[in-house]
């Protein structure tokens, strides 16, 4: 009986140990839960819709291993306020990402107790105060990004305690003093630009690019030498000074003579031009008064344009009516546009677009072009070529009008508006989210339309692809608009890149290649996937465009963070989303030769849409809405 008694005692002891182990695990996860709930209560955020009845490991942005929280990734969640003293309880945390929020105040001291922390991303917030010494206790820290905040004080030499550090970003803060002699054996990413730093760049950092130090009062390699002064031999001689003075006097006299000549010439022309201008203004004002009398309201945009057009045609200055294309039904003319009620739909690169509701009840979209520099013959030739292009995913050009003062284009009116308005125009709680099927369908329709454009010839391109030029039917089918207009406008030797769509090699808006169209379409795909508008995103305020931001996130962190939160509600689409993301990254390659053709892009999207599973999941399903899908199976950066 003794051996049997010993066996029973051993089994009893084993059961007790197992229960203690489970209790210990539950206790640890419970501690993590308390810390996360404290964070949620302190900083809120539009997306922290955590179901508190579920395990923290199922919450959005929370990643676990062996029932412990090891990752907390909440970028661009609209978090605000100050971080609570609670995160230190996440004792197994390896990655903390709170970037692109509106958090303020100091970093809580208990973060210094996160011994396992390897990645700390706090950039693009409003954190302030000095960089506290407790950060230097994080011996395992590999990535530290505190850029674009309001940190002040000096850069501490104690940074050298972080011997494993490979990334240190401190740019765009209020740091002052000199840069200490930092010695990081493995450092491969470093930036302290745009602070208030002074003095010499330390020798160990002299091999870094100059952009890592710009915006400060620093000197030394790679910047200007610290002892750079001019010697006495640089002073100008007396003869040189006299020569410069004489040259200035002669130049002034020449300029004065030219001005006198131009003034006399202007007076001669004024008398001739005055009568012509007064007559033109009189006729235009009469036409505008007729509009007010007929309609009772002044549609000052399209009505004024049509009035000027009518006035010009009466004097023989242009075509007397609209020029229609193909089999377009001619149910209206220039007089009908003159009497139509109008509202502004938007102001774009090439002019203002109006919705004109005719008296017969038909609505059309009328674009009033601006800055057209080509001759009448060139204009008619180019526009008639555009009018001949017909495809189900292109907005057809119905008619046009031309004279020297007004150029009008008439299109079908799309009541659902643009993709830009659908993605960014309404963020109210009652808004219907765009599911994966709708977004991928829009991408496919737009790709088909642009591919058809490119098939018209190797030199044919769109030139202005962006989400506001992707219009939608009532069934959310994409129609590409504004094609063929880029080569009508004047040259832009220094193109504005704020819109975020233009390819880096483009220097003239009139000369955009098909590969530049591919780049713009790639940005459009990223906009669909991320939900971010490159035209007004805070990402590009400092020159960081949407493609570079996406590539940095994919490289440094988990791929899932780039996707619009609405897409994370739907199951079984992770692989398709990643495939479309990779295609968008390929389209936005820096060099044109590395980008695919639009035909290849269309084919890949068609394949992706053809094998996609059922993505219609109830968006009100609370369980689905609270679940985050780990798309990238790789670990955080080492």
- Which residues belong to the annotated binding site? 367
The DSSP bridge partners found for residue 103 are: 81
- Alpha-carbon distances of 217 from 179, 192, 211, rounded to whole Å: 11, 12, 13
Structure tokens, 50: 């955590």
Structure tokens, 266: 């202007």
Omega before 424 within 30 of 0, i.e. cis = no
The DSSP bridge partners found for residue 120 are: 96, 144
Torsion, CA 271, CA 272, CA 277, CA 279, rounded to 10 = 100
- SS3 call for 153: strand
Helices (H), 370-472: 376-388, 419-424, 436-454
**Eight-state DSSP code of residue 425:** S
**Eight-state DSSP code of residue 410:** E
> Binding-site residues for ATP, please?
367
- Whole-angstrom distance, CA of residue 441 vs CA of residue 439: 5
Reduced 3-state DSSP string for 482-528: CCCCHHHECCCCCCCCCCCCCCCCCCCCCCCCHHHHHHHHHHHHHHH
- Whole-angstrom distance, CA of residue 108 vs CA of residue 88: 9
Structure tokens, 168: 């240190």
- Whole-angstrom distance, CA of residue 168 vs CA of residue 188: 9
394 Cβ partners below 8 Å, 6+ apart?
449, 452, 453, 479, 480, 481, 483
Sign for the pseudo-dihedral over CA of 620, 526, 121, 175: negative
Contact 222, 200 (CB under 8 A): no
Among 133, 69, 77, 78, which Cα is nearest to 96's? 69
- SS3 call for 324: strand
Reduced 3-state DSSP string for 586-624: HHCCCCHHHCCCHHHHHHHHHHHHHCCCCCCCCCCCHHH
Give the number of other Cβ atoms within 10 Å of residue 275's Cβ.
9
């Amino acid at each position: 009986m003794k051996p049997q008694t010993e066996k029973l005692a051993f089994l009893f002891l084993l059961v007790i140990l197992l229960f203690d182990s489970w209790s210990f695990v539950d206790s640890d996860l419970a501690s993590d839960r308390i810390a996360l709930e404290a964070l949620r209560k302190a900083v809120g955020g539009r997306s922290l819709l955590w179901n508190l009845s579920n395990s923290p490991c199922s919450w959005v942005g929370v990643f676990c291993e062996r029932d412990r929280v090891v990752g907390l990734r909440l970028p661009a969640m609209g978090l605000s306020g100050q971080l609570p003293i609670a995160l230190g309880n996440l004792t197994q945390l390896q990655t903390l990402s709170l970037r692109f929020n509106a958090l303020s105040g100091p970093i809580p001291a208990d973060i210094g107790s996160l011994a396992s922390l390897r990645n700390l991303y706090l950039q693009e917030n409003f954190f302030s105060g000095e960089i506290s010494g407790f950060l230097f206790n994080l011996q395992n820290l590999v990535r530290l990004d505190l850029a674009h905040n309001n940190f002040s004080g000096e850069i501490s030499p104690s940074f050298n305690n972080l011997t494993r550090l490979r990334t240190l970003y401190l740019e765009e803060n209020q740091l002052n003093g000199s840069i200490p002699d930092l010695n990081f054996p493995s450092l491969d990413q470093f930036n302290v630009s745009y602070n208030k730093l002074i003095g010499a760049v330390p020798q160990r950092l002299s091999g870094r690019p100059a952009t890592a130090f710009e915006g400060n009062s620093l000197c030394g390699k790679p910047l200007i030498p610290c002892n750079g002064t001019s010697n006495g031999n640089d002073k100008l001689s007396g003869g040189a000074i006299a020569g410069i003075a004489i040259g200035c006097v002669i130049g002034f006299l020449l300029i004065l003579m030219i001005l006198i000549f131009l003034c006399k010439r202007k007076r001669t022309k004024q008398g001739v031009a005055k009568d012509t201008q007064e007559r033109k203004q009189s006729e235009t004002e009469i036409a505008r008064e007729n509009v007010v009398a007929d309609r009772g309201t002044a549609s000052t945009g399209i009505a004024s344009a049509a009035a000027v057009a009518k006035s010009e045609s009466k004097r023989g200055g242009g075509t007397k009516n609209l020029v229609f294309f193909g089999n377009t039904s001619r149910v209206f003319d220039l007089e009908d546009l003159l009497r139509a009620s109008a509202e502004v739909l938007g102001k774009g690169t090439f002019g203002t677009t109006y919705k004109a509701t005719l008296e017969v009840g038909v609505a059309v979209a009328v674009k009033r072009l601006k800055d057209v520099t080509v001759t009448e013959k060139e204009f008619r030739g180019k526009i008639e070529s555009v009018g001949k292009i017909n495809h189900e995913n292109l907005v057809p050009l119905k008619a046009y009008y031309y004279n020297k003062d007004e150029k009008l284009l008439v299109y079908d009116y799309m009541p659902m508006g643009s993709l830009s308005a659908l993605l960014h125009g309404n963020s109210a709680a009652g808004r219907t989210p765009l599911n994966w099927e709708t977004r991928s369908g829009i991408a496919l329709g737009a790709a088909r339309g642009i591919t058809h454009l490119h098939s018209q010839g190797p030199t044919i391109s769109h030139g202005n692809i962006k989400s506001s030029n992707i219009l939608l039917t009532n069934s959310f089918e994409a129609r590409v608009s504004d094609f063929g207009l880029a080569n009508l406008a004047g040259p832009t030797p220094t193109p504005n890149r704020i819109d975020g769509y233009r390819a880096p090699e483009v220097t003239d808006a009139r000369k955009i290649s098909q590969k530049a169209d591919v780049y713009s379409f790639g940005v459009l795909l990223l906009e669909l996937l991320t939900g971010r508008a490159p035209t007004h995103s805070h990402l590009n305020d400092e020159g960081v465009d949407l493609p570079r931001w996406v590539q940095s996130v994919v490289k440094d962190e988990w791929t899932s963070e780039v996707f619009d939160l609405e897409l994370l509600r739907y199951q079984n689409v992770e692989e398709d989303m990643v495939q479309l993301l990779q295609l968008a990254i390929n389209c936005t390659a820096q060099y044109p030769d590395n980008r695919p053709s639009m035909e290849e892009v269309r084919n890949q999207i068609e394949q992706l849409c053809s094998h996609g599973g059922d993505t219609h999941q109830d968006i009100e399903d609370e369980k689905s809405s609270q679940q985050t899908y780990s798309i990238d199976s790789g670990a955080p950066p080492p």
